[in-house]
Structures are given as C-alpha cells and as structure tokens.
Amino acid sequence: MKKATKLTATKEKLGKLPTIEIVEKKKVIFVGSEAAPFIATGGLADVLGSLPKAIASNGNYDVSVILPMYSNIKNEYREKFEFITNFNVSVGWRSQYAGIFTTEYQGVKFFFIDNEYYFKREGNIYGFYDDGERFAFFSRAVLDTVARLNIYPDVMHFNDWQSAGSVIYLKGMYYGDENFKKVKSIFTIHNIEYQGTFPMETFTDLFGFQENLRGVVEFNGALNLMKGAIELSDIVSTVSPTYAEEIKHSFYAHGLENIIKRNEGKLRGILNGIDEDYYNPKTDKFLFANYSYRGLKGKAICKKELQKLVNLPVREDVPIIALITRLVSHKGLDLVKCVIEELLHKDVQVVILGKGERGYEEFFTDLAKKYSGKCATIIAFNQDLSRKIYSGADLFLMPSKSEPCGLSQMIASRYGTVPIVRETGGLNDSIKQFNGVNGNGFTFHNYNAHDMLHSICEGVELYKDKEKWKQLQKIVMTTDFSWKVQSKKYEDLYNN
C-alpha cells in the first residue's frame, strides 16, 4: 500500500518537471592576422592567442579563429593541421586558390587560409608591396570559408586593418547570402595608426567592392579599410577605455577623429588581459629561477644571472630599469633619449631590449658603449631574453606617447617588476600611482622628459626602502590582469 502511494507521488512530481531543452551554444568567430602561439609579431597575437581561449573556457560560446596560413608558422604546429577543402576566391578580376586547414588548440578551433603565392614569404608577415592584395584575398576568403563550411556564427569579431575588408564585404556585399544577414560584427582597433590605406584604383581592381561602397571606404582621396570597417561594423571596440576617448582627438586619431566621433554611439573600450598561465613566474621555463609573490628568492637569482648575462656588475642594491619595446617613436623614446644620460649619472643600471628604427638602434647601442657597466642594449626581438629581463629587472619603463592598451606593463607586473608609465591609453587604465598604501606603479601625465625622469627617480628612491618596496611588489604581482573579468565584457557585447 505504502509503496504504491509513494510511486504516485513521485509520478506527480515528475509530471511537473519542466522539459529539458538542449540549448546550442552561440558561436563567435575571431578574424585577424596573427595569433600566438602560431604566429606572433606584436600585441595583437597575444590577444588573439588568449581572448578566444578565455571566452571558450567561460563555456557560453563555441569559439573559432581564422588566420592566414603563413609559411612562417612553425612546423611543430603545421604538422597538426588538417586539410579540409579548397576553392577559388575572387580578388578583383583574379580568381585565387584558397586551401582551408584546421586544428584545435586549447578549446578553440583554428582555421588557416592557405595560398603560397600570398603567404609564403621570407622573414616578416607584413610590409610587402602587395599587402593590399594579400589582405584583400584574406578578407574575402574568410567569408567564403564561413559559407563553404556552413559555420555561420552569431558574431564575427574582426581585428585591425588586415581583416577590416571582411567587415566591408560582410556588411556591404554578402547579404545576397541570407545566412550572413543575421551575423553581427565587432571591429576592434588595436592601433589606429595602421589603417590599411591604398590608392583608390585598388577599389575595383583588388578589392572588387561594389560602387555603392565608394563613399564608405574613401578617405582623403585614398581607400581606407579601417575607416570602412568603423562605418559599417555593428560595434567598434578598442583595447582600453582611455584609448576609446583619446581617439576622438586628433593627437591620437591619425586623421580618423571625425569618423570616430560620428560613430561614437557604437564605440566601446575594453581593457585587454594577459594569459596568466603563459606569463607566470612560478612556472616560466625561460627564467633562471621560479618564484611567486610569497617568496621572492628566485627573483633575486634572476636579477643576478641577468646582470651576468648582459655584463653589468652583479649588485643587489642597485635597481635595474628595463625597457622592452619596439624601437619606434610612439613608444616615447624621444623622452628617454632626452634624459637618459642624466639618469645614468645616478646609481642605476639600465637594460634595453628592442628592435626598430635605425636611429634608435644606433643611439641605444652607442649609449651602452659609452656607459658600459651601467647600461646594456640588445637589439633583438627575443622571447627568451625578454622573460629574463622581465624577471630580473626591478623597474619597467613605458613612457609611450600613445598606447592603445599595452601588455608589457602587465607582464612586467606579473614578474614583480614595477612599471613606470605615462598616463595614456591602457597604461592609464592599468597602472595607478603608488601613494604609500595604494597604487601599483609610478605614473606621469604630460609628455615631458623631466616629468618622466621624476617618476623614475621616485621608483629608484623607493627601491632603497626594502619594506615599502616589498609591499609595492606584492600589490603589483597580485593585481588581476587576467581575462577573467575582461572576457565577460566582450561576451556582454556579443549577447547584446
């Protein structure tokens, strides 16, 4: 009897249970010209190597990334690529081969667009006479890939000028394909300085844009891909809230301030994060010794070994100030040039690692000769050495004239090296002046060499106070620069 009652009760309950719906995950496809670890020449690669992974691990989106298949991608990765299909892509009047390869990496699906004529090049991945044609091909092949593979997503997230053409094709031309009609687009500006401008003659000849798009992509008599993408994308984002404000002004916008202002209703600024597993002093294999904020003995070893490596006197009591940067003017190097000798007359050591404009390379090389034993310069772009410097130095200088986000200040912080930054772009959003209690670095506002020097000296002074220094180092090392919070902000954008 009893049993029967029980059974009925259970049945009743079951009847009231809601039916379980299997909800398919939403889909986002990132598009860009580089992503770590496959191919990396700058900050964009860090972001496309870490943000998609963070979104995928949040669990709400299926995440893919589409990249060009450069011959410079290392064999250890290429070997794992799987060929899926090939087809022809229109590049103006040309019809060009595109092979599609795929691989899965850290929860993200990567697609690579192969064409040796465009992407089998020596040395660099950009800077060729036919970059316009190479990325016209890529931009168009991206959409053809989506259509051919039938992987229409909810959102496509494009990055910088190399994929700006895709936004223009998507919004301006691909609505013949109903499936593209529902696809929302985000265009992220990582640096407004590089806009992808080409002679207007390429409009039909290379890009094959339809006539009605002429006004959209034309700017100052040239074809400007970034401008076209800003005009047509559903959302425009950039890599820090401060930079989103700055690019409304001519000092930062490289001519596009009015285009930005006109589109400010759809402009967002989201600070980048870094991959905290990849940049982790506890596990980093490039370091001379590992450490964490709980025990900094390893950092002392890193400093000593770095001094030996770059031929500086092994001294624990002198602060090492590091600069790891592309040697180009917007990084604020003219400020450094102006006061570095004044700085080198103090009891400090300076280590410079970078590559770039000839003039800066020569200046810093000569400087190291003149101040040998106090200053070391290495002209290179070298991952291994950069980690050894991030970990071995005490202060990290980043006086950029403009800095959309900047990742080096975050990486340096992770390694317990205190940043000194100018209050611009993402530097302003990530580093706050230390006031004895709060703050995670040293900052200055005006683009002025002596203001910078003053901040450096503050750091050098504080270094002498071991207790205070330790306190600051702990704040710096425990500041959250991960994608945890920031990736959710992108998801919110996608959801809306």
Q: Which residues bind ligand GLC (CB under 6 A)?
A: 42-44, 47, 190-191, 239, 272, 403-407
Q: How far is the CB of 427 from ligand GLC (least distance, A)?
A: 9
> Distance of CA 201 to CAs 128, 206, 212, 374, 447, Å?
18, 8, 15, 53, 39
3-class DSSP assignment, residue 460? helix
3-state helix, strand, coil in the chain (%, to 5): 45, 20, 35
Beta pairing partners, 356: 327
Residue closer to ligand GLC (CB basis): 47 or 217: 47
Cis peptide before 37 (omega within 30 of 0): yes
Q: How far is the CB of 490 from ligand GLC (least distance, A)?
A: 13
Q: Is residue 302 within 8 Å of 288, Cβ to Cβ?
A: yes
Residue closer to ligand GLC (CB basis): 213 or 271: 271
Q: How far is the CB of 186 from ligand GLC (least distance, A)?
A: 14
d(CA 224, CA 197): 4
Q: How far is the CB of 193 from ligand GLC (least distance, A)?
A: 8
Tokens found for residue 40: 């990396």
Q: How far is the CB of 255 from ligand GLC (least distance, A)?
A: 17
Q: Is residue 307 within 8 Å of 320, Cβ to Cβ?
A: yes
Residue closer to ligand GLC (CB basis): 145 or 408: 408
Residue closer to ligand GLC (CB basis): 47 or 143: 47
Q: How far is the CB of 65 from ligand GLC (least distance, A)?
A: 15
Q: How far is the CB of 188 from ligand GLC (least distance, A)?
A: 8
93 CB burial (10 A radius; 0-12, 13-18, 19+)? exposed
d(CA 222, CA 198): 6
Q: Is residue 476 within 8 Å of 256, Cβ to Cβ?
A: no
Residue closer to ligand GLC (CB basis): 191 or 224: 191
Residue closer to ligand GLC (CB basis): 44 or 125: 44
3-class DSSP assignment, residue 42? coil
Tokens found for residue 238: 């950039």
Closest residue to ligand GLC using C-beta atoms: 43
Residue closer to ligand GLC (CB basis): 319 or 406: 406
